Structure 1
Amino acid sequence: MGKILGNLNTALALGVVLLLATMFGLHHGEMDELYLNWWFRFFHVISGVLWIGLLYYFNFVQIPTMPKVPAELKPGVSKYIAPEALFWFRWAAVATLLTGIVVAETGAERYLVAALSFQEGYRVIGLGMWLGIIMAANVWFVIWPNQQKALGLKPAEDDAKAKAARTAMLASRTNLVLSIPMLYCMVTQFYLPQ
């Protein structure tokens, strides 16, 4: 078991095999267009967990811990950990956004336009969607460009790097703040009255 779980790709493959066994074991006779909606909903949740999990990692672990890290160890984070985490962070944002659009436009009810225009019955999910869109735009157009400078992935003077690091941190904190009502909207949309 150590060989399987010790390798990330093998562990992920095992998870996919268990997913397929679960799907076909429990739902093999129900795989229609509605099932496709639930399939995308599942991937929306998985990508959202990755995205928001990394957002929380940055805000609760990496940002507060970096000032405590000795100077000689900081390059380990800035050259290896942060770029890799930012890769998954920004692409999880895209995956979450795209799978959310598919969920809203497939299945028994198509509600993307109704939600984005805050129509009756879709205001909660609409607010959650707009917050998610703002957060994803923040990832790609504020956090990532500034992190590239701060981490030295793009050339910048020391002053520009420091300013970029602060801008990225404040944008990340903005996403942290927005994630709280966004998650509330996503979870309560179909369960609480609007």
Structure 2
Amino acid sequence: MDATILIHWAEFAVRWLHVITAIAWIGSSFYFIALDLGLNRNVPGPADGEEWQVHGGGFYHIQKYLVAPEAMPEHLTWFKWESYATWLSGVALLAVLYWVGAELYLIDPNVADLSIWAAIAISAASLVLGWVLYDRLCKSPLGDRPQVMMLVLFAIIVAFSWGYTQVFTGRAALLHLGAFTATIMTANVAMIIIPNQKIVVADLKAGRTPDAKYGKIAKLRSTHNNYLTLPVIFLMLSNHYPLAFASEFNWIIASLIFLMGVTIRHFFNTMHARGGYKWWTWGATTAIFAAIVWLSVLPLRDEAPQEEAALSAGQQALIAHSDFEDVFWLVQGNCAYCHAAEVSYPGIAAAPGGVVLETEAEVARHALQIYMQAGVSHAMPPPSQAFLVDEDRALIRRWYRGEGLEE
């Protein structure tokens, strides 16, 4: 079987796993935040609060203890594997899609002419660096001033957002900012929250009084994870929205997404805490989103066409293929009305996926996508708007595979 097809299915499998584990992690996180904020704390006894809930035909009586109940239970359910599995599957997807496909998705010679291994090294190292900076920030004196620390953290996020756009494609830049943030969140669970909870449990089982600092530290990191979740979701989906990742201001858009995530989460957090609806967050969210929309279409690029980056040897070979001219005109007749710098098809504001197919070089650069979308499968073009017969698709396959060339 074609190795390209196997890689494509591997990507699908890992992406599916990533989505499944992310649903489990985010779902449990959102549930516990809502539960903790909604507890009735006007109850007698040692419990910090309780809640009665109904779901699926049953009733649940939940109690929270700041330290532990009088009798420490032998069995405890630890919520950690959801986070670990989400991060591991996410890194696997990053490797399959952006490292294996570095030439197509990660490297933009117009931004930084990197070798494949240099780009991969920057990608991996940035995730580690992000965690180190964040962890040291939390352990600094600013850890006792959470509002100030969050402002400094936001400044770090803005710096990384800008930095990623200086070395990677716009698509990869936003995706990496999401991976950068998700790495912080999972490292919080693996290296701070769970270890601190285990220290408290061990002290209780040994009859010692746990130090309250462990719970305080874990609570701070958990709060950060709560407010970072929504921006991560947007950034992980951003590769579907070229108006976000292919904009001149993509790094500012990505930064504003974090502010919008904070306003949305704050609304739900205060609602769960029964502190009344904070309707001002709706106005703030709308204003931030309006700014993002405006930035996405603000024309900043020079009217003069930019010089195209040099083609790789493989891309040059695709143009030199005897079938290229026929393939090129198939693409122009069936794809370029949507995949253009200025889209002519009504209802589409920008080229889907940021893929433009107007020149020979652009067709060669996106050969793999043309092959997968229109050669191997019938995903493109939309059958109601264009038509490729089987012979046309066979031509695309033969061209991409380099078949039919004269010796």
Identify if the C-alpha distance between structure 1 residues 99 and 68 changes in structure 2 by more than 3 Å, giving closer, same or farther.
farther
Per-residue Cα deviation, 1:48-105 (whole angstroms, up to 9, x for no partner): 11112222222221465284565365439x8478x31x3xx32222211111122122
Identify if the C-alpha distance between structure 1 residues 125 and 79 changes in structure 2 by more than 3 Å, giving closer, same or farther.
farther
Q: Does residue 155 of the first structure (1) align with residue 203 of the second (2)?
A: yes
SS in 1 for 2:240: coil
**Residue 159 of structure 1: how far off its partner (Å):** 5.4
**Corresponding residue to 2:25 among 51, 54, 72:** 51
Q: Does residue 105 of the first structure (1) align with residue 95 of the second (2)?
A: yes
Distance in 2 between residues matched to 1:184 and 1:93, nearest whole Å: 18
Distance in 2 between residues matched to 1:163 and 1:67, nearest whole Å: 22
Aligned to 1:143: 193
The answer as to whether partners of 2:196 and 2:214 remain within 8 angstroms in 1 is yes
Identify if the C-alpha distance between structure 1 residues 127 and 62 changes in structure 2 by more than 3 Å, giving closer, same or farther.
same
Q: Which has the larger radius of gyration?
A: 2
Distance in 2 between residues matched to 1:68 and 1:142, nearest whole Å: 30
**Corresponding residue to 1:71 among 34, 38, 46:** 46
The answer as to whether partners of 2:203 and 2:209 remain within 8 angstroms in 1 is no
Identify if the C-alpha distance between structure 1 residues 190 and 146 changes in structure 2 by more than 3 Å, giving closer, same or farther.
same
- Higher-RCO chain (CA-CA 8 Å, sequence separation at least 6): 1
Distance in 1 between residues matched to 2:28 and 2:42, nearest whole Å: 20
The answer as to whether partners of 1:115 and 1:125 remain within 8 angstroms in 2 is no
**Stretch of structure 1 that moved more, 131-140 or 50-59:** 50-59
Aligned to 1:174: 224
Aligned to 1:185: 235
- Aligned CA-pair RMSD: 3.1
Unpaired stretches in structure 2, ≥5 consecutive residues? 48-62, 107-118, 127-163, 246-407
Q: Does residue 134 of the first structure (1) align with residue 187 of the second (2)?
A: no
Distance in 2 between residues matched to 1:58 and 1:68, nearest whole Å: 19
Distance in 2 between residues matched to 1:66 and 1:168, nearest whole Å: 22
The answer as to whether partners of 2:80 and 2:189 remain within 8 angstroms in 1 is yes
Aligned to 1:33: 7
Distance in 2 between residues matched to 1:163 and 1:154, nearest whole Å: 15
**Residue 180 of structure 1: how far off its partner (Å):** 1.9
SS in 2 for 1:71: coil
Distance in 2 between residues matched to 1:38 and 1:175, nearest whole Å: 27
Distance in 2 between residues matched to 1:80 and 1:185, nearest whole Å: 40
Amino acid at match of 1:184: F
Percent same amino acid among aligned pairs? Answer: 26
Unpaired stretches in structure 1, ≥5 consecutive residues? 1-30
Identify if the C-alpha distance between structure 1 residues 36 and 159 changes in structure 2 by more than 3 Å, giving closer, same or farther.
closer
SS in 2 for 1:106: helix
TM-score scaled by length of structure 2: 0.34
